[in-house]
Amino acid sequence: MGVIYLKNLNNDETATTATNVTITKNLGALDQLTCELSPQAIGSVPSAMMINGTLITVPETGQQYRLQNVGLNPLGQKQSYSITAMACAIDLHDHFVEKRLNGTQSLKACLDFIISGTPIKYTIHDDFKNYHFSDGFGGDFADSLLMGTLANDFQFEWWFDNYQLHIVKKRGKTDAFALINGLNATGLKYTEDYTGIRTYIKGYGKPKEQKDDKKPVEYLATAEYVSPTVKLWGRKEASVINDERFTNNDALREYLKSQLQDYPIVQYTVDQVEFNEKDRLKNDIEVGNSGWLKDRYDIDVDVRIIGTVTHPQDVGIADTVTFGNKIYNFFQDQLKQRAAYRKNVIIGKNLNQKVENIHNSIYEGVRSL
């Protein structure tokens, strides 16, 4: 059991006890808080705070969350609440950007455009090239424009510290942890998703000016890219890309290469980790960090943390960490296929030998009769 702080839109504040305080973090998404309020007397101050707009603070982290969903559980003369809240930056969803920016824009200009009138401040930690918006930028909620449009167009990653937005080319540290199943981690599992694999992609750059609309459109840049993994999985075509930023074939081809997912998405999950002060290896477990994951069998990989589920007020509840594949090894997949082929050959030989032995036994039995 722990304590959380509540503050409504009138700036009334109170503290209340809570259980199962759980914080979920994922790369490219706002943090989420779930918990249960301890049973409250009907009409108590915490009960009165269970309304739209209430801000919740977790004292262990100092992070604030905006109340989103409330579930009421009657308990006679008392009642408890199950609540879900999102990081306070969800306030961006209250701002719909009706106007549009056109043409080539800097990241700073775009950010200033969408956060105007909101409490959000930002820091850009790296340099980003300007982007040309052929259809304009705007006409959507501010959070969608930030986390979807801008993050994709300018190729950045981001995170919030309450109302402070941080933007980088890549979030996290390298060599930040070493997790070994049975030593400082348990319950190591993994899944592989092959549905998004593509081995061929084609793209067009900026169209040429044409006076005759009846003629086919010509482009200043066209390119295609075939992944080496086509030898392994065959030709799997991706959607054609049209991007007016490109007027050079080589530059467009490099961009196409970066947009092609020619490898499976592998996710590893650890059910429990001995964090920080308990951990003899002093691991830094934060979303975006990269490190090493190993078990006694065939897992020995360089991975990146893409999600965590933590319980800051209850050390007795197991935390979980989810990893995405940082480096995909094409040659390792080839070796796996060759190993499977060799095993099948051996199995086939053994099966043929057993069939032959059975035939011989039947033949010998017939002869003995």
Comparing 54 with 134, the larger pLDDT belongs to: 54
Nearest of 211, 215, 203 to residue 248 by alpha carbon: 203
Measured over the CA atoms of residue 157, residue 162, residue 163 and residue 164, the dihedral's sign is negative
Query: Amino acid identity of 295?
Result: D
Residue 187 reports pLDDT greater than 90: no
How many Cβ atoms are within 10 Å of 211's Cβ, its own excluded? 5
* Banded model confidence at residue 349, pLDDT cuts 50, 70, 90: low
* Banded model confidence at residue 361, pLDDT cuts 50, 70, 90: low
pLDDT in tens, 96-132: 999 999 999 999 999 999 999 999 999 999 999 999 8
CA distances from 282 to 25, 161, 279 (A): 21, 23, 5
At 179 the pLDDT is 87
Question: Which one-letter DSSP state was computed for residue 297?
Answer: S
* Banded model confidence at residue 78, pLDDT cuts 50, 70, 90: confident
Beta strands 178-180 and 290-294, pairing class: parallel
Provide mean pLDDT across the span 146-154.
94
Residue listed under structure tokens 């059991």: 1
Q: How far, rounded to the nearest angstrom, does the alpha carbon of residue 107 sit from its chain's CA centroid?
A: 22
Question: Which one-letter DSSP state was computed for residue 318?
Answer: P
pLDDT in tens, 41-69: 877 899 899 999 999 999 999 999 999 99
Distance (Å, whole) CA 232 – CA 266? 17
Provide mean pLDDT across the span 175-201.
88
SS3 49: coil
Question: Burial, 231: exposed, middle or buried (Cβ in 10 Å; 0-12, 13-18, 19+)?
Answer: exposed
- Geometric angle at alpha carbon 326, from 320 and 332, rounded to 5°: 115
Least confident of 65-74, 119-128, 279-288: 279-288
- Geometric angle at alpha carbon 165, from 159 and 170, rounded to 5°: 45
Query: Amino acid identity of 270?
Result: V
Distance (Å, whole) CA 119 – CA 130? 25
Residue 279 reports pLDDT greater than 70: no
Nearest of 369, 130, 134, 176 to residue 289 by alpha carbon: 176
Q: How many CA atoms lie within 13 A of 225 on its CB side?
A: 26
At 335 the pLDDT is 43
At 348 the pLDDT is 55
At 336 the pLDDT is 46
SS3 147: helix
At 353 the pLDDT is 64
Residue 369 reports pLDDT greater than 70: no
pLDDT in tens, 249-277: 999 999 999 999 998 888 898 876 655 44
Question: Which one-letter DSSP state was computed for residue 205?
Answer: -
Residue listed under structure tokens 């030709």: 235
Q: Characterize 149-180 residue by residue with b for buried, 16 or more Cβ atoms within 10 angstroms of its Cβ, and e for exposed.
A: bbeebbebbbbbebbebebbeebbeeebbbbe
Comparing 273 with 146, the larger pLDDT belongs to: 146
With contact defined as beta carbons under 8 Å apart, do 130 and 110 qualify? Answer: no
Measured over the CA atoms of residue 116, residue 118, residue 124 and residue 127, the dihedral's sign is negative
How many Cβ atoms are within 10 Å of 333's Cβ, its own excluded? 15
At 143 the pLDDT is 96
* pTM of the entire predicted model: 0.79
Which pair of structure tokens corresponds to residue 297?
Answer: 């069998």
pLDDT in tens, 196-241: 999 999 999 999 988 888 888 999 999 999 999 999 999 999 999 9
Question: Which distant-in-sequence residues (6+ apart) come within 8 Å of 34 by Cβ?
Answer: 20, 21, 22, 24, 82, 83, 84, 85
Query: Amino acid identity of 100?
Result: R
With contact defined as beta carbons under 8 Å apart, do 313 and 2 qualify? Answer: yes
* Banded model confidence at residue 76, pLDDT cuts 50, 70, 90: confident
Question: Which one-letter DSSP state was computed for residue 92?
Answer: G
Question: Which distant-in-sequence residues (6+ apart) come within 8 Å of 188 by Cβ?
Answer: 181, 268, 269, 270, 271, 293, 295, 299
